[in-house]
Amino acid sequence: MDTQPIDILNQYCPSRRVLELLGDKWTLLTLNAIARGINRHNALQREIGGISQKMLSQTLRDLERNGILTRHVYPVVPPRVEYELTALGKSLNEPVVALGKWAQDNFAQVESSRAKYDQLNSTHDGNE
């Protein structure tokens, strides 16, 4: 097997598949909620504003498939399902929480920059 060096900028680098997973807002919000101790589907859906049941289920499956969390089903009626970060997921927790904090701390500056950019570029005809 021909092995390529790991280089995230290389279009064939397998680490890009991990970035695709982490580049999804629902993934980051779900991880953030689970890191806060919210570990049941309905509670996650209530906590994560705007996420549909289908999107949450898909996100949880993707995270489980990628080894970021585990799903525990308890044999009770009705069945109780809880999600927990794996060791790999816990190692991801710090950068995910930091990224969320950065977004909260800097959203006003980003919004201001967007408004300035949009105002400046609305007067141009789109030609470079």
Residue-wise pLDDT tens digits, 93-120 = 899 889 889 999 999 999 999 999 999 9
Structural domains in the chain, CATH included, are: 15-122 (1.10.10.10)
- In this prediction, residue 5 carries a pLDDT of 73
- In this prediction, residue 1 carries a pLDDT of 47
Q: CA-to-CA distance for 62 and 64, rounded, in angstroms?
A: 5
Residues 54-69: what's their mean pLDDT?
96
Residue-wise pLDDT tens digits, 1-39 = 456 678 889 888 888 888 888 888 999 999 999 989 999
Angle at CA 99, nearest 5°, toward 95 and 104? 150
Q: Is the pTM of this model over 0.85?
A: no
pLDDT at 124 over 70: no
How many angstroms separate the Cα of 52 from the Cα of each of 44, 46, 90, 95? Answer: 11, 10, 25, 25
- In this prediction, residue 68 carries a pLDDT of 95
Q: What is the chain's Cα-based Rg?
A: 19
